[in-house]
């Protein structure tokens, strides 16, 4: 195992977030479910794009958000994802690179457009998301650069991707590359719905291939089909590898190496928008563990990153996480 060039390489959905303020009248007119995430097709995505005025475009997606957080902590992050050779594809690439994340993917020339999420923010702060997955989840084994994966301390996989058979096969290839290079593999369960749909396969993956798992409380309970948090905690302890379980205002619990750490949530003056809290927790934790910090410190870094992102709109840090960690006496 040679010295890694990157701390974390993430594989995830490459999605362009398109944000605009809205009114309830607009939501009603376009039949948009307020506060929900709805999957939409290309036709509807295009229609929404035309009706949303003054929208701000930025690279998004869960794992990509995490990588941007790692970069903000001073970490070296790289991304594998799929964009099309279209305008939004270019927006994604420019934006994630500007955020300090290496992205060498070649845009595909296929018919399926770059993924987008049209996000409408109501005056009361609620976000209504209309996500068109486009080509983002169409990953293939050939996209999984063996040398890039070998060059990162940790391979981080977004559970949302676990859907199409070709993408699953691509992820298994990526894991095999990481194993061959003696790298650690981290996985986020992403969503209780994902867990419900793929429980058996997720449990199988955990057993065979995952070293670090991220779950929020609902995902953890669903994974082990238990109705108590403690039930999920004991199951993760029995599993034996590293789990970071987030509990919103209750903070997080970290399990690993026979240790259990209860990390209280960092104080937040005002919670503005919880989008991206889990992604940023993962950023802090992954950065910490890639640098060999103790599990308790990794948990605190996760908490600091999550606290920053929920104090403003948007799923990415607005100030240097490295500076925040420094102020807390960690980095």
Q: How far is residue 39 CA from its own chain's centroid?
A: 18
* Contact between 36 and 129 (Cβ < 8 Å): yes
| Residue number, 69 or 251, with CB nearest to a copy of itself | 251
Give the shortest CB-43-to-a copy of itself separation in angstroms.
45
Stretch that binds a copy of itself, among 25-33, 39-47, 50-58, 222-230 (CB under 8 A): 222-230
CA distance 134 to 149: 25
How is 23-52 classified by DSSP, letter by letter? -HHHHHHTT--TT-EEE--HHHHHHHHHH-
Query: According to the binding rule CB under 8 A, does residue 253 interact with a copy of itself?
Result: yes
Whose Cβ is closer to a copy of itself: residue 162's or residue 214's? 214
Alpha helices in 1-114 (DSSP H): 24-29, 42-51, 62-72, 87-98
Q: Which of 3, 147, 182, 228 binds a copy of itself (CB under 8 A)?
A: 228
Contacts with a copy of itself, 270-299, as mask; x by CB under 8 A: --------------------------x---
Residue 24 within binding range of a copy of itself, rule CB under 8 A: no
- In the list 1, 50, 230, 270, the residue contacting a copy of itself (rule: CB under 8 A) is 230
Which listed residue (229, 272, 274, 293) binds a copy of itself by CB under 8 A? 229
Choice from 118, 261, 308, 331 touching a copy of itself (CB under 8 A): 261
Report in angstroms how near the CB of residue 288 gets to a copy of itself at its nearest. 15
Measured between alpha carbons, how far is 73 from 8 in angstroms, rounded to an integer? 12
Return phi, psi of residue 286, to 5°.
Answer: -65, -40
Q: Does 262 bind a copy of itself (CB under 8 A)?
A: yes
Pairing between β-strand 77-80 and β-strand 152-158 as defined by DSSP bridges: unpaired
Beta carbon of residue 75, minimum distance to a copy of itself (angstroms, whole number): 24
As a whole number of angstroms, the distance between CA 202 and CA 235 comes to: 14
- Residue 233 in contact with a copy of itself, rule: CB under 8 A: yes
Nearer to a copy of itself among residue 247 and residue 322 (C-beta): 247
- What is the DSSP secondary-structure string of 167-187? HHHHHHHHHHHHHHTT-EEEE
316 sits near a copy of itself (criterion: CB under 8 A): no
85 makes contact with a copy of itself (CB under 8 A): no
Q: Are 113 and 88 spatial neighbours (Cβ–Cβ below 8 Å)?
A: yes
Residue 63 or 233 having the CB closest to a copy of itself: 233
Residue 227 found at the interface with a copy of itself (CB under 8 A): no
- 3-state DSSP assignment of residue 312: coil
Report d(CA 157, CA 101) in Å as an integer: 16
- List the one residue from 220, 263, 277, 301 that touches a copy of itself (CB under 8 A): 263
Q: Are 140 and 110 in contact (CB under 8 A)?
A: no
**Interacting residues with a copy of itself (CB under 8 A):** 228-230, 233-234, 237, 250, 253, 258, 260-264, 296
């Amino acid at each position: 195992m040679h010295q890694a060039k990157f701390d974390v390489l993430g594989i995830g959905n490459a999605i362009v977030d398109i944000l605009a303020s809205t009114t309830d009248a607009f939501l009603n007119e376009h039949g948009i479910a307020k506060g929900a995430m709805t999957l939409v097709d290309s036709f509807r995505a295009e229609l929404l794009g035309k009706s949303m005025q003054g929208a701000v475009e930025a690279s998004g997606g869960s794992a990509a958000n995490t990588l941007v957080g790692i970069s903000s902590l001073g970490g070296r992050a790289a991304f594998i994802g799929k964009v099309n050779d279209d305008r939004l594809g270019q927006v994604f690439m420019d934006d994630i690179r500007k955020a300090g994340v290496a992205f060498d993917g070649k845009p595909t020339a296929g018919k399926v457009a770059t993924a987008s999420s049209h996000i409408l923010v109501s005056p009361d702060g609620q976000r209504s998301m209309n996500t068109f997955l486009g080509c983002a989840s169409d990953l293939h084994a050939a996209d999984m650069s063996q040398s890039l994966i070998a060059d990162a301390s940790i391979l981080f996989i977004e559970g949302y991707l676990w859907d199409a058979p070709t993408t699953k096969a691509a992820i298994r290839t990526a894991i095999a590359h990481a194993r061959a290079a003696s790298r650690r593999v981290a996985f986020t369960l992403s969503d209780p719905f994902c867990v419900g749909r793929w429980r058996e396969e997720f449990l199988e993956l955990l057993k065979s291939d995952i070293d670090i798992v991220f779950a929020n409380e609902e995902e953890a309970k669903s994974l082990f089909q238990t109705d108590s948090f403690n039930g999920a905690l004991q199951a993760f302890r029995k599993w034996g590898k590293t789990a970071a379980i987030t509990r919103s205002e209750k903070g997080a619990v970290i399990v690993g190496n026979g240790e259990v750490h209860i990390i209280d949530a960092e104080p937040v003056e005002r919670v503005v928008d919880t989008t991206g809290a889990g992604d940023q927790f993962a950023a802090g934790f992954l950065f910490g563990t890639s640098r060999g910090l103790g599990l308790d410190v990794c948990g605190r870094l996760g908490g600091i990153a999550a606290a920053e992102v929920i104090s403003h709109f948007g799923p990415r840090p607005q100030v240097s996480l490295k500076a925040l960690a420094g102020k807390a006496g960690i980095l």
